Amino acid sequence: MAAPSLQSFCLPWLLLVLLFMALFASASALPKTIPRLGVLRGELNPEKSEAALASEDLETYYYDQTLDHFNYKPESYAIFKQRYMVSYKHWHGAHVAAPIFAYLGEESSVDDDVKGIGFLSDNAARFGALIVYIEHRYYGKSVPFGGFQNETLKNATERGYFNSAQALADYAEVLTYLKQKLSAEASPIIVIGGSYGGMLASWFRLKYPHIALGALASSAPILYFDGVTPAEAYYDVVTKDFRETSESCYNTIKMSWSEIDRVAAKQDGLSILSKKFKACKPLDSASALKNYLDNMYTGAAQYDRPPRYPVTVVCSGIDGETTEGSDLLDKIAAGMFAYRGEKDCYQLQDFFPSETRLGWNWQVCSDIVIPIGVGNDTMFPPSPFNMTDNTEYCKEKYGVTPRPHWVTTYYGGQNIKQVLRRFASNIIFSNGLRDPYSSGGVLEDISHTVVAVSTKQGSHCLDILPARKEEDPEWLVMQRNIELEIINGWILKYYEDLLKELERN
């Protein structure tokens, strides 16, 4: 059953961030085009599978984490409490070097991960594995400087330590410490993450191979940086998803944007729209509605997964609206009602920003600069990505400029095949091709052990959500089995090496 806190998590975030940005930044001089910043996470699985982790199996700990791993100023040594959770339930123990599955937190509270992710709990028994969830700095209960993300993010100095390189170093410290504490130095660690967390997992294997034996990077768009992937790719896939589902649905959506503008331009246009779309609070602008719909479509595509298949739901609503006298926007509204479920009214604007949105908005303005624009041939109004606008927006909002080249400088990304063909090992890049972020993912094997496992019908992070015995389609079951076989192979090879070494000594 869905917990209320998860329900609120089920909304895709792209539009929310855009709205939030518009809302909070309207007082200051903004660039004309509010940039579409990359947004990764959203819907976790609201229904827990039988196998998902029961909270009673989890122990919560706090690690005294170093604020700044990369400098040696007196203030670098400040400590904050970083939360992590451990389940010993299935672990076969240090004496047999039983493995450790470590989930590397992304832009949310670890509470959400524990409830929403299934891969570790579904498979720990089979591997006799310890389960660890580590919370990302500046989210949940792992916020430095007093613990209030909201306050910390307002402080230019305090938020400055909030980035991916520091987060990876946090994970390195926690995992090293944990191994020592458990005398489990010989236990192989497999790191797992999804979306931004998937990027972290693959980067962690690249940067800290001495700590993690391998990484499962689910839906990690590590190539959506610095021009490696075209900025338009994301919306191209969203459009493809809708068009493949229903040509008429795609056409209706494509025509709707100008229709919204046309109606909004009438004297009582916003009232008409508010009524048509059952807005809880009268719409302030046509943009608010358009952003809401944009976010709905992208979210539906990103999480277009069984058993519900949101794109099909939206399109069924749109295509099914054939009541006499209904116009194009009635169809759009019907799609929305179908997707969101029948309600008295809908919250189309003025969302209270979640910590995920607040934190992520900073991250995409500092190191995680994912350029997303809308090309000319989609079902959305064209809106090319503009780095200058993006930089100006971030500078205005945070006082510092993003570093769009940093990810490719520090982690790589250009010519990834040639670079990693003979370097690195043990990384699975898993993707579902209906996920618009798969366009920035690694979709082909790089070597025998740096491999891509994609499914045509899959969506964002689907493989690491809890398995549903009866409902999961065969291709999904197969994808997970392939991943498990690969991980098993890494671990077996590791044990082989370990035995050989023991024999030698």
Show the site string, 243-282: x = touches a second copy by CB under 8 A, - = not: ----------------------------------------
Instruction: Based on the shown chain and the rule CB under 8 A, indicate whether residue 157 belongs to the binding site for a second copy.
Output: yes
Instruction: Based on the shown chain and the rule CB under 8 A, indicate whether residue 233 belongs to the binding site for a second copy.
Output: no
* Contacting residue, 176, 347, 454, 488, with a second copy by CB under 8 A: 176
DSSP, res 2: -
Are 451 and 472 a contacting pair, CB within 8 Å?
Answer: no
* Contacting residue, 156, 265, 280, 499, with a second copy by CB under 8 A: 156
Which amino acid belongs to residue 241?
A: D
- Closest separation in Å from C-beta 126 to a second copy: 23
Stretch that binds a second copy, among 20-28, 350-358, 402-410, 471-479 (CB under 8 A): 402-410
* Contacting residue, 173, 321, 355, 392, with a second copy by CB under 8 A: 173
Stretch that binds a second copy, among 95-103, 127-135, 341-349, 495-503 (CB under 8 A): 495-503
Nearer to a second copy, 35 or 432 (CB): 35
State the Cα–Cα distance between residues 363 and 338, nearest whole angstrom.
33
Pairing of strands 100-104, 79-87: unpaired
Nearer to a second copy, 73 or 456 (CB): 73
Please count the residues of this chain forming the interface with a second copy, following the rule CB under 8 A: 61
Angle (CA) 43-48-54 rounded to 5° is 125
- Closest separation in Å from C-beta 229 to a second copy: 16
Residue 314: half-sphere exposure toward Cβ, Cα within 13 Å: 29
Radius of gyration for the alpha carbons in the chain, expressed in angstroms and rounded: 23
**Edge-to-edge strands of the sheet including 189-194?**
58-66, 79-87, 130-134, 100-104, 189-194, 214-218, 427-432, 450-455
Instruction: Based on the shown chain and the rule CB under 8 A, indicate whether residue 209 belongs to the binding site for a second copy.
Output: yes
Nearer to a second copy, 124 or 358 (CB): 358
Instruction: Based on the shown chain and the rule CB under 8 A, indicate whether residue 169 belongs to the binding site for a second copy.
Output: yes
* Contacting residue, 1, 4, 27, 74, with a second copy by CB under 8 A: 74
Instruction: Based on the shown chain and the rule CB under 8 A, indicate whether residue 501 belongs to the binding site for a second copy.
Output: yes
DSSP, res 320: H
Are 40 and 106 a contacting pair, CB within 8 Å?
Answer: yes
Nearer to a second copy, 112 or 173 (CB): 173
Minimal CA–CA distance to 304: which of 454, 457, 197? 457
Instruction: Based on the shown chain and the rule CB under 8 A, indicate whether residue 181 belongs to the binding site for a second copy.
Output: no
Minimal CA–CA distance to 290: which of 322, 254, 316? 254
Minimal CA–CA distance to 439: which of 145, 180, 233? 233
Active site (catalytic) residues: 195, 435, 460
Which amino acid belongs to residue 75?
A: E
Instruction: Based on the shown chain and the rule CB under 8 A, indicate whether residue 73 belongs to the binding site for a second copy.
Output: yes
State the Cα–Cα distance between residues 462 and 166, nearest whole angstrom.
27
Instruction: Based on the shown chain and the rule CB under 8 A, indicate whether residue 183 belongs to the binding site for a second copy.
Output: no
- Which helix (H) or strand (E) is 88 found in, with range? none
Residue 305: half-sphere exposure toward Cβ, Cα within 13 Å: 28
Minimal CA–CA distance to 36: which of 385, 435, 433? 385
Instruction: Based on the shown chain and the rule CB under 8 A, indicate whether residue 505 belongs to the binding site for a second copy.
Output: no
State the Cα–Cα distance between residues 308 and 468, nearest whole angstrom.
13
Instruction: Based on the shown chain and the rule CB under 8 A, indicate whether residue 230 belongs to the binding site for a second copy.
Output: no
Instruction: Based on the shown chain and the rule CB under 8 A, indicate whether residue 419 belongs to the binding site for a second copy.
Output: yes
Instruction: Based on the shown chain and the rule CB under 8 A, indicate whether residue 366 belongs to the binding site for a second copy.
Output: yes
Are 19 and 284 a contacting pair, CB within 8 Å?
Answer: no
Stretch that binds a second copy, among 35-43, 216-224, 417-425, 458-466 (CB under 8 A): 417-425
- Given the rule CB under 8 A, which residues bind a second copy? 68-74, 76-77, 156-157, 159-163, 165-166, 169, 172-173, 176, 185, 206-211, 366-367, 399-401, 403, 405-406, 408-410, 412-426, 449, 493-494, 497-498, 501
